[in-house]
Amino acid sequence: MAIFNHISFDDHEQVVFCHDKESGLKAIIAIHNTNLGPAVGGCRMWNYESDDEAITDVLRLSRGMTYKNALAGLAMGGGKSVIIADPKVQDREALFRAFGRCIDTLGGKYYSAEDVGVSTADIMIAHQETPYMAGLEGKSGDPSPFTALGTYLGIKAAVKHQRGLDSLKGLKISVQGVGHVGYYLCRHLHAEGAELIVTDIHQDSLDRVATEFGATVVAPQDIYHQDVDVYAPCALGATINDITIPMLKATIVAGCANNQLAEVRHGEMLKDLGILYAPDYVINAGGIINVSFEKDYDASAATAKVEEIYNTLLTIFTQSVEQNRTTGDVADEMARNIINAAK
């Protein structure tokens, strides 16, 4: 298993492997870059099929956090952690305490928070062992509603750029994954009069959005070829790939999932087909922006900062047209300039 030569290593500053025999904890913490401040990024708990798969995921996610935090204008570096375990595991106390102790050994170089499979309750358990946890109850709390707000505004920015429309009324939007963020996103979209087509692998999550927002439910494999205006990937990564791109009828891809493009070249493929892509780490920064207000928490200040995502994306879309480059390319360069200036 290669680490330093890993395709996603990208000059990571530190990668830490954590093991606790008693609780069974197997975790990896990746700190990509701390030019702008301590690394901050959530913890994902997932049934990875191999250690290799977990390493690839954490390295990609961690790098994404560096770019996300920089472009969102936050004084925070990029990092991420993964716990290799079934996210539905019942006995979480010992596991998250062990995880907290592991985070603590880094002395504040990395702060963790919620991500897929990890709840605010889990973070509170880990917080008993370390101060280096964010997204705490009574502070910034669950980041998902803020991620959803940013994603909703990002979809509006994409629709404004491509169609000149100020409203989503009557537009068809497909949402893949109606979990924490997907649910709140559907609520915004429904409130504005969009027609929803959704999928998930959990029936109860689907029932909720079907009942509350009148969403049409389709099978997971059928989400890509729906005749919609916008496709919003809100489950796991790499769903934009060689197989799915030819199926897309949407002319906009804008959702909250991290690492939506399987490879960078898939951004080129979307551009060549005239499909507008909202770079994932820009559109889904709402949650981390909210977390950045953790210390003296102020929900309205956090909301105002999340709303900046709309203009940031409009700038990226405009530059992408002017410079004939992919939106991802434009965003990456903007982020790198900020990170390098802080060196």
274 is in an annotated binding site: no
- Using CA atoms, how far apart are residues 18 and 316, in angstroms rounded to an integer? 38
Minimum distance from residue 31 beta carbon to ligand NAD (Å): 18
- Using CA atoms, how far apart are residues 130 and 102, in angstroms rounded to an integer? 9
DSSP 33-64: E-TTSSEE--EEEE--SSHHHHHHHHHHHHHH
H helices, E strands: number in the chain = 11, 12
Q: Tell whether residue 269 is a contact of ligand NAD (CB under 6 A).
A: no
- Using CA atoms, how far apart are residues 40 and 143, in angstroms rounded to an integer? 13
Q: Tell whether residue 23 is a contact of ligand NAD (CB under 6 A).
A: no
- Tokens 């404004």, residue? 160
Q: Which of 26, 68, 80, 172 is catalytic?
A: 80
Nearer Cβ to ligand NAD (77/287): 287
Q: To the nearest 5 percent, what fractions of the chain are helix, strand and coil?
A: 45, 15, 40
Q: Which residues, listed in sequence order, are joined to residue 40 by a DSSP beta bridge?
A: 78, 111
Nearer Cβ to ligand NAD (44/127): 44
Phi, psi values for residue 205, rounded to 5°: -65, -40
175 is in an annotated binding site: no
* Strand (E) or helix (H) holding 277: strand 276-277
Nearer Cβ to ligand NAD (165/218): 218
Site map for ligand NAD, 277-306, x if CB under 6 A? Answer: -------x--x-------------------
Instruction: Give, as one character, the DSSP assignment of residue 231.
Output: E
Site map for ligand NAD, 49-78, x if CB under 6 A? Answer: ------------------------------
Q: Tell whether residue 202 is a contact of ligand NAD (CB under 6 A).
A: yes
Exactly one of 8, 34, 120, 147 binds ligand NAD (CB under 6 A); that residue is 147
Exactly one of 13, 115, 229, 332 binds ligand NAD (CB under 6 A); that residue is 115
- Using CA atoms, how far apart are residues 189 and 167, in angstroms rounded to an integer? 10
Which range binds ligand NAD by CB under 6 A, 8-16, 122-130, 194-202, 224-232? 194-202
138 is in an annotated binding site: no
Site map for ligand NAD, 229-268, x if CB under 6 A? Answer: -----xxx-------------------xxx----------
Query: Does the annotation count 80 as an active-site position?
Result: yes
Q: Tell whether residue 220 is a contact of ligand NAD (CB under 6 A).
A: yes
3-state secondary structure 152-217: HHHHHHHHHHHHCCCCCCCCEEEEECCCHHHHHHHHHHHHCCCEEEEECCCHHHHHHHHHHHCCEE
- What residues make contact with ligand NAD under the rule CB under 6 A? 115-116, 143-144, 147, 176-182, 199-202, 205, 220, 234-236, 256-258, 284, 287
Query: Which residue positions form the known binding site?
Result: 177-182
Query: Which residue positions form the known binding site for NAD(+)?
Result: 177-182
